[in-house]
Amino acid sequence: MKRQGGFTLIELVVVIVILGILAVTAAPKFLNLQDDARTAAAEGLKGAIKGAAGIVYGKSSINGTENDATATVTVNGTDVDTVYGYPAATSTALGAVVSGLSSDWTIVTSPAQGIGYGSSTSNTACYVTYQAAASSSAEPTVTLVNCN
């Protein structure tokens, strides 16, 4: 009679136990990916706002309005209110210069200063704030809030 090859029940149980131990030790590493993704998206938004502010400042400099407390420049056919050459801290001004801002992000209710955008309207979530330039020698402030 031929001997049939295969695994014994004990071997299968040992393999399942080993896989279970590996899963338990590796799971915490992957469970927090959602928070990391939100933080990375907020950092990307921060960079987009800073970049857009720099472009608007360049257009303001060309127009000679970079030292004006309030002015308007045209970006992509849209008039953008500026404060000392940078976009004003309004959803209209920022929405005109940052693509997808109004469709992909929500305005945070009552941020400490300026205007805030996040993945939810809660102030406890990770979000980005924008505060307009305070003088002609200062840049606007873009900060991440509640991001790890």
As for how many domains the chain has, the answer is 1
Q: Is residue 80 part of a domain?
A: yes
97 closest CA partner among 82, 87, 107: 87
141-145 sheet: strands from edge to edge: 106-107, 115-118, 127-131, 141-145
Q: Is residue 100 part of a domain?
A: yes
pLDDT band at 59 (very low <50, low <70, confident <90, very high): very high
Distance, CA of 146 to CA of 144 (rounded, Å): 7
Q: Which residues constitute the domain of residue 117? A: 33-145
| pTM (two decimals) | 0.76
Q: Is residue 92 part of a domain?
A: yes
pLDDT tens track for 77-133: 899 999 999 999 999 999 999 988 888 888 887 776 678 888 776 666 788 999 999
Q: What are the C-alpha distances in Å from 54 to residues 28, 32, 37, 110, 111?
A: 40, 34, 26, 26, 23
pLDDT tens track for 16-46: 999 999 888 887 777 777 778 888 889 999 9
Q: Is residue 114 part of a domain?
A: yes
